[in-house]
Amino acid sequence: MTYGWMGNLLRLNLTDKTFKVEPSKKYFSYIGGKGIANRIMYEEVPAGTKPEDVANKIVFAVGPNTASSAPTSGRLTISTLSPFTKFNAIVDAHMGGDTATQMKCCGYDAVIIEGSSDTPVYIYVEDDKVEFRDATHLWGTTTTIATKEITKETENGTNVTTIGPAGENLCNLSCVINGIAHCGGAGLGKIFGQKKLKAIAFNGKKGVQLADPKRVKELNDYVMKDLIGSNNNHVVPTVPQSWSEYDNPRSRWTGHPGMTWGAAEGGPVVTGESAPGQPTLVGFRCQKAVFDFGAVAEKYTAKMTGCTFCPIRCYASMAVPQMEKKWGVPGRHANTCLGNRRESPLFLTYQDVEEEGDGKMMAGMYSAILDDDMGLWDNYGELLATLSYFMKDDYKLMKQILTEEEFAAIDWTKRETGDLTFLNDIVACLINPEHSLYNLTMGAYYVSEKYHDILGDDYLHSQAMALWGPLGGKRHHGNECAAQVGMLTNILYNRDGMCHTIVNITGSGLPYDIQRIIIEDLFGVGALDKPANYTPINEAKVKFAKFGVVRQVLHDSFTLCNWVWPMTFSPRKERQYKGDLSVEAQYMSAITGGDWTEERLDDAAERIIQLHRAMTILQAGTNDMRNEHDVISNFIFDMDPDKAPFTEGTVKLEREDWQKTLTLFYREFGWDEKLGCPTRATLEKFDLKDVADELEAKGLLPA
């Protein structure tokens, strides 16, 4: 019997509407999730394929830990080719909600979607039953309507992952949505739309077999009682509590006595204290609505919700009846983080309805509802940044890219007065291929290419855009997060890094001196700089950065939520706030029955990184990653012009030091130190000889 993995993958062919079940065992050494999905993409999608080509594929993949009952084990990785960043290289969308659990419980470790349909379809998978169903009646509908209709047409309990009009209209910045609010980005909506795939729906009833269920339960109890904190594994509360030694107002452990879910059914629910050792109260720790919107959101919070098997509940479910009265949209929605604001900061003012601040909150909700319905992806704020960039200086750039008729047709005074229907007007243009604003959804790299004559290089390199580099990926916890360490966690990917391993540490709420002691004990003296008081690069920082990306890839493959894991810190004073980095390996052993050590599991994750790097090189057609891929934006060196790098009060980096940083990072991964590409010896060390052979055949292996 296979434990943890289901042992099967499902191949779905949209061209001839056929499916095939195949064994997945040969991919187990890639763990699951990102690892399996990337390997399948490597084997089946030739280098040079474009995202819009029929030969491009979509791979959904879960891991042995998915649906095991481990805290935060409801994650899914979806791999395809990027339509929105330079090189169109391999890219992953990471999605929560219920899709991962339902897919795995249908009996599959991976689902491969290939080919292309002539007419709109959706796919329904119920355990062994697979149906390609006509979706003509759903084409053009919002994600909410499509989800509701497919739910009616299928068995009770079905999870629907669907695109909206943005994906149908082939916007590069489009996404898939499951559960009406859980997003899978990376331009995935366009790839669905290109293939005329409206949705895929799973209804799984099979169980996941665990090698040692008792041990898994023991680990669950250990994590819940001794290790887990709140969202981003923040381990101290925002305000003093009877049990806490420290507090930090920037922590996401927002629940406390007096704080409520004010709009809960049956009356307000007090979040109270949820001290370590009280696992049934963990779900009260994260009052995310207040963190995202401010105190005004408390009375409108119906509850906190989130992904399957996650105790943190970081999604704020809001009930704001004034929304429907004032703006004619449903007053209920659930989202988190940047998903709770989208394009709402475009407004120059907000219309408060009942009290100061509620207008800004409603604008955020309104934008979230609209974007999710349309399946429009904000790319970690990149779409907002681009729109803001083109609207600055009295719409100077906007007037240059729109026709006179297009510009005149938009009522810009709505933006100035806080009329939320301005967002309807803008989004309708953004997802309309016939409108010039549609071009701003291409992704920053392609926006720059199209409008370079008026933008020059400033747009891609500006602090206003905050891209990690001209490749077009948004900076996601970069130099502002542990200096060079944070930037290194961005450059490996062909999108924003989405790596939370490091920021979960620096943002934990613990005093810097406690963080430093724990991190230096793990990686060496000098690994963690004091915030905004940086030092030149050293080997300890490089080891820390490698840990960050290795654990992220592990979590995206195993699967676990990297917004919470790893358990580097603990909220328990009696542990000196030290977490336990061996827990993932302990779970892997208990779930699969194998003998997994922390080192062995990290090596398996690094193997996936080596493959991903090689795939990027093959798609880019160059092995000079230092100068063609790993280039970071100028603003990271040029910000705070009155301050020198490595002086207190700035997070800027220094150009010469960055080149040294890359050299040390490449050395840590066994890559050519000049080019930043894997050597044959390194690839063969990770059993990737076939990859080395292909690189050599194409002249992309370093001498």
Q: How many helices (H) and strands (E) does the chain have?
A: 27, 17
Query: Count of alpha carbons within 13 Å of 349, Cβ hemisphere only?
Result: 10
CA dihedral 384, 390, 391, 393 (to 10 degrees): 130
Report the top-level CATH class of 484-676.
mainly alpha
Partners of 13 in beta bridges: 18, 114
**Parts of the chain with a pLDDT under 70:** none
Residue among 351, 7, 364 nearest 208 (CA) = 7
| Calpha distance 264→303 (Å, rounded) | 6
The DSSP call for residue 66 is T
Residue 335: enclosing H or E segment and its boundaries?
strand 332-335
Q: Residue 146 in contact with residue 201, Cβ under 8 Å?
A: no
| Calpha distance 72→306 (Å, rounded) | 10
| Calpha distance 407→386 (Å, rounded) | 17
Q: What is the pLDDT of residue 403?
A: 98
Taken in order 426, 430, 433, 439, the sign of the CA dihedral is positive
Q: Residue 383 in contact with residue 444, Cβ under 8 Å?
A: no
Neighbours of 227 (CB within 10 A): 25
3-state helix, strand, coil in the chain (%, to 5): 40, 15, 45
- In Å, how far from its chain's centre is CA 592? 27
Q: What is the pLDDT of residue 485?
A: 98
Pairing relationship of beta strands 8-13 and 110-114 according to DSSP bridges: parallel
- In Å, how far from its chain's centre is CA 348? 29
Taken in order 95, 98, 103, 104, the sign of the CA dihedral is positive
In angstroms, what CA-CA distances link 516 with 186, 195, 510, 522, 540?
34, 50, 10, 10, 12
The widest CA-to-CA distance across the chain, in whole angstroms, is 70
Q: Which pTM does this prediction carry?
A: 0.98
Residue among 559, 561, 565, 592 nearest 223 (CA) = 565
Residue among 263, 431, 250 nearest 332 (CA) = 263
- Please name the amino acid found at residue 215: R
Which pair of tokens denotes residue 485?
């360490």
Partners of 354 in beta bridges: none
| Calpha distance 161→186 (Å, rounded) | 15
Backbone φ/ψ region at 678: left (φ over 0), alpha (ψ -120 to 50), beta: beta
| Calpha distance 206→308 (Å, rounded) | 16
Neighbours of 131 (CB within 10 A): 14
The CATH code for residues 8-202 is 3.60.9.10
Q: What angle do CA 164, 438, 121 make, to 5 degrees?
A: 25
- CATH 1.10.599.10 domain extents, the chain: 484-676
Q: What is the pLDDT of residue 339?
A: 81
Partners of 58 in beta bridges: 113
The DSSP call for residue 19 is E
- CATH 3.60.9.10 domain extents, the chain: 8-202
Residue 22: enclosing H or E segment and its boundaries?
strand 18-23
pLDDT one-digit tens code per residue, 627-663: 999 999 999 999 999 999 999 999 999 999 999 999 9
Q: What is the pLDDT of residue 331?
A: 86
pLDDT one-digit tens code per residue, 360-397: 999 999 999 999 999 999 999 999 999 999 999 999 99
Residue among 403, 339, 376 nearest 97 (CA) = 339
| Calpha distance 255→248 (Å, rounded) | 13
| Calpha distance 698→622 (Å, rounded) | 10
Q: Among all chains, which residue has been given the structure tokens 């603003």?
A: 635
Q: Among all chains, which residue has been given the structure tokens 């940083």?
A: 661
